A and B are shown apart, each in its own frame.
Chain A
Amino acid sequence: MTVSTDAPAVASVSTPATRLRSLGWVARRVGGGAFVLWAVATVIFFALRLIPGDPVDAILGGPGSQASAEAVAQIRADYGLDQPLIVQYFLAMGKLAVADFGTSYALKVAVAPYVLTQLWSTLVLTLASLVVAWLGALGLTLATSGRGRVSRAVGSGLELLAAAVPHFWLASLLIILLSNTLHWLPPISVPGPLGLVLPVLTLALPLTGFLGQVMRESLANAYEQPFVLSARARGESEWGVRLRHVLRHAALPGISLSGWAFGSLLSGAVVVETIFARPGLGRTLLSAVTIRDIPVVTAVALLSALTFIIVTVATDVVDRIVDPRVTEVASR
């Protein structure tokens, strides 16, 4: 039953109750996050044991190792691989619980600092891509959302194509165009911002297409809202209407999708890092899965999950800042 006039106005003033509410929110988020991490760790643990191939190979210099029997036995004992699976599981979880990710089978280094370095590199790439995709989508929609049919068609056509291009092909095309033909940019990741341009473009363009499609629609929706008429009636210019009013509304669905988008960027990073020879989580993951470097795969999975959780929470927070209605609806 909908009686719209019955909706009470909610005043969101900071009271002890609201503060308590945010505390509860934080607690729920932390609890939920911890659960997800545990579940990811468990899934990964058992999934990796299902993969054919002996982890001992990874420890002994990669697949195809011809290590001696002594070496193999030594490694099995050292890494606890001779224990029953369930014991291994609890040992592994116990270590993970205290953030002990162990030693990489292949690299022989402590996993945590290693993977964290890679994470940093991937974060730079993905966050930059997210920002670029965001700005690109906003720019494209704002620039082409005017009244001209042609510009609108061109805008949505570009978005459509961008969203349908596989990353690895796009990367090749960009290298050929911007690097080999125009000589503007290095085709590999080099230190400094210049080396970041092509990888970020590759990763950001398809996302720009997706976000653009969503924003275009919400922008069109926002234009139809009475408050736009109000603003125009106040003498606001067309760009004033766009930037001061419509923009935020158009951005909203984009913001709530950013968590998801970030997840997809992490996946795309594998391809982009491989092509542009960038260090990062994606490449680490690819090579670790290839050689069954279990501690590294586990750490990458957990870190990706953690990052994803944090980004999701962050987008929620941004969402609440941009759109205070979210809080109100949630509390209703």
Chain B
Amino acid sequence: MNAPRILLLPLSIAAGAALLAGCTAATEPAAEPVDGGTLVYATGDAEPGCLDPHVGGNYPQGLISTQYLESLVSKDSDGEIIPWLATDWTESEDGLTWDFTLRDDVNFTDGTPFDAEAVKANIEHLKDPDTASSTGYLAVGKIDGIEAVAADQVRFTLSAPDSALLESFSQPWVSIQSPTALERDQATNCESPVGTGPFIVTDWVKQQSVTLERNEDYNSAPADAEHTGAARLDAIEWRFIPDAATRYAALQSGDVDVIDNAQPNNISSAADVATIEELDAPRPGAANRIELNSGKAPFDDIRVREAFIRSVDVNPGIDSLFFGTAERSYSVLSSVEGAGISTPDVFTTDPEAAKTLLDEAGWDTIDSDGYRTKDGERLSLTFPISTNQSIPAEQSLFEQIQASAKDVGFEVILQPTDLSSWYGALFTNEYNLVSAPYTKVGADVLRILYHSDSIIPAPSGYYANLAQLSDPTLDALLTTASETSDASERQELYAEAQSIIVDGFYVLPLYDQQNHYLYSTSVEGFRALPPVAAPTFYDAWLSN
């Protein structure tokens, strides 16, 4: 499977380039790549507490670990799974046994060879409670047994069929690290995880930056990379710049070369700057959406949920707040998920219909402040907002929603809080509306977000089904889909599941999880790695 892929390489690059061109329109005639230089990358995401994405497992870890850790498989820009550290794989008939063939010529940067034992050690590391893995742990949840059949052959035994296994393996949170390195204590491994990637973590100045230096012996580029061998850059300085305005200012001044989490207005003004280009790489998994908590009044009544959705028109707000950088989504799933179904008809705005619905639902009196009441109780919706997760434009959008819902008689109480308090509000069920991003590769994210099992809190209090959607039909659909390996059959199941979710008015989709990069024109060959749209600098080089 390896060889044909390499032949296909030029094609996939062309496809990728075409796709990128849609956003950036910056395909100049490619100059000859030059080696060397240090690229400065500024991230607005939180500084990871641990550079090993097995520990915990959040998006910021995924972003940086993509530079030094690699996964068994990757995805190409069409969403197809492509080989990486694994060259080939087969699934048994019953879907319970998977055999992976591994590359036999790859070494970790500490010299440890990459082999089946290494893969085994990694999966065990994820499953070890001491690791305290969260994302990766869930991804490999169905794996019961791992067997190193040969040095380059590893066999996974599953407790139930898992159609999302390959997608799970493509995520950075399930990346493969040196088993020798994993033997070290966790603090050390957090400081300097060892993988097979094109760069090596050499230094981490807390609150400031991580220094990544080129792996000279690198030979395991994913199948869709532009070149082979070692990376072109000497090093990457991975800076943590939490303030968006500063980040953009630093890009303008040339102190950094690439920024992520670019704000809509910055993207908009950057369009006029000749030396700055944009890369839009929406994250996979769920779209950004507002969940309506059906687990408690007043949203336990479908009429009230529909009335809410009818009462707000988010489109003009998205247009103005995002400066045309975000497109309205009418799907629960990200636009990069092929299984996503867009249903604009469901999410039409009609305040009059909303009022009628509320009248029907018994919220037919209006108090002195203009809010609807029922049995003396005000139609009041609590909306905790994580200031760490919602960008200012999104918070403003929520304020607009607040304003237009008020016209119909909803009182929306916006509560901007820090991350811990925000989770606290969710865990204690003190919310009616919430917007929580969720990144996972593949449509299986629907199972995590809307299966009734996900209402049961994890020991830490966490649960993913924030709409508190509990529907046995939906549960069955999602479980079946996750165990169905036939792509088109799965597609259908997911389509049916999505219609249950949207027709029940459990969610108000807004737009894809925004993931805009702005970068200096001197940076060439930079792209986002398709699985979770993390940046990769393997092909990148500095033109001056």
Contacts and interface: CB of A to CB of B under 8 A. Distances in A.
Report if A and B touch in the complex (beta carbons < 8 A). yes
B398 to A, nearest CB: 20
A70 B134 CA distance: 12
Interface string B109-134: 00000000000000000000111111
B296 interface: no
Given A59-B132, A108-B190, A284-B207, A190 B458 contact: no
B459 A67 contact: yes
Nearest to A279: B207
B249 A61 contact: no
A257 interface: no
Nearest to A110: B187
B207 A118 contact: yes
A276 B132 CA distance: 33
A29 interface: no
Contacts of B50: 61, 107-108
Contacts of B488: none
A175 B462 contact: no
A106 interface: yes
A65 B462 contact: yes
Contacts of B46: 287
A106 B49 contact: yes
B394 interface: no
Interface string A49-68: 00111101111111111111
Given A70-B129, A187-B249, A274 B242 contact: yes
A69 interface: yes
Contacts of A175: 245-246, 249
A280 B206 CA distance: 9
Interface stretch (A178-186, A212-220, A306-314): A178-186
B37 interface: no
Interface in B235-260: 239-243, 245-247, 249-250, 252-253, 255-256
B56 interface: yes
Interface residues of A, number: 61
A108 B49 contact: yes
Contacts of B247: 277
Contacts of B388: 290
A230 interface: no
Nearest to A271: B243
Contact of B190 (A71, A107, A121, A172): A107
A305 interface: no
Contacts of B338: none
Nearest to A171: B246
A172 B245 contact: yes
Nearest to B464: A66
B137 interface: yes
Contacts of B458: 65-68
B202 interface: no
A114 interface: yes
A66 B462 contact: yes
A278 B239 CA distance: 10
A276 B207 contact: no
Interface in B12-64: 42, 46-47, 49-50, 55-58
Contacts of B1: none
A66 B418 CA distance: 19
Nearest to A283: B207
A96 interface: no
Contact of B460 (A65, A107, A275): A65
Nearest to B420: A53
A125 to B, nearest CB: 12
Contacts of B57: 61
B296 to A, nearest CB: 19
Contacts of A52: 420-421, 424
Of A61, A106, A187, A290, most B-chain CB atoms within 10 Å: A61
Given A65-B56, A186-B250, A107 B424 contact: no
A74 B423 CA distance: 22
B419 interface: yes
A93 interface: no
Given A108-B190, A118-B207, A57 B132 contact: no
A138 to B, nearest CB: 31
Contact of A57 (B207, B239, B420): B420
A103 interface: yes
B256 A188 contact: yes
A246 to B, nearest CB: 41
Contacts of A106: 49
Nearest to A70: B129
A251 interface: no
Contacts of A273: 207
B138 interface: yes
A60 B255 contact: no
A140 to B, nearest CB: 28
Contacts, number: 171
A68 B132 CA distance: 8
A117 interface: yes
Interface string A176-219: 10011001001111100000000000000000000000000000
A83 to B, nearest CB: 18
Contacts of A284: 206-207
A279 B206 contact: yes
Interface string A29-53: 0000000000000000000000111
B191 interface: yes
A179 B462 contact: no
Nearest to A277: B241
Contacts of A66: 134-135, 137-138, 458, 460, 462, 464
A75 B186 CA distance: 14
A188 B49 contact: no
Nearest to A62: B56
B458 to A, nearest CB: 5
Interface in A109-129: 109-110, 114, 117-118, 121
A61 B56 contact: yes
Nearest to A75: B132
A65 B458 CA distance: 8
Nearest to B242: A274
B420 A109 contact: no
A74 B130 contact: yes
A57 B460 contact: yes
B58 A188 contact: no
B205 interface: yes
A72 B135 CA distance: 15
Interface in B446-493: 458-462, 464
A128 B137 CA distance: 47
Contacts of A299: none
A109 B256 CA distance: 28
B132 A187 contact: no
A291 interface: yes
A292 interface: yes
B58 A62 contact: yes
Interface in A63-95: 63-75
Contact of B246 (A67, A110, A275): A275
A63 B206 contact: no
B423 A68 contact: no
B208 interface: yes
9 contacts: A54-B461, A57-B461, A71-B130, A71-B131, A73-B459, A109-B187, A109-B191, A277-B246, A279-B206
9 nearest A-B residue pairs (beta carbon): A61-B56, A279-B207, A106-B49, A187-B249, A277-B241, A71-B129, A70-B129, A72-B459, A53-B420
Interface of B: 42, 46-47, 49-50, 55-58, 129-135, 137-138, 186-187, 190-191, 205-208, 239-243, 245-247, 249-250, 252-253, 255-256, 388, 418-424, 458-462, 464
Given A53-B424, A188-B42, 5 more contacts: A53-B423, A56-B460, A66-B134, A175-B246, A183-B253
Interface of A: 51-54, 56-75, 103-104, 106-110, 114, 117-118, 121, 172, 175-176, 179-180, 183, 186-190, 273-280, 283-284, 287, 289-292
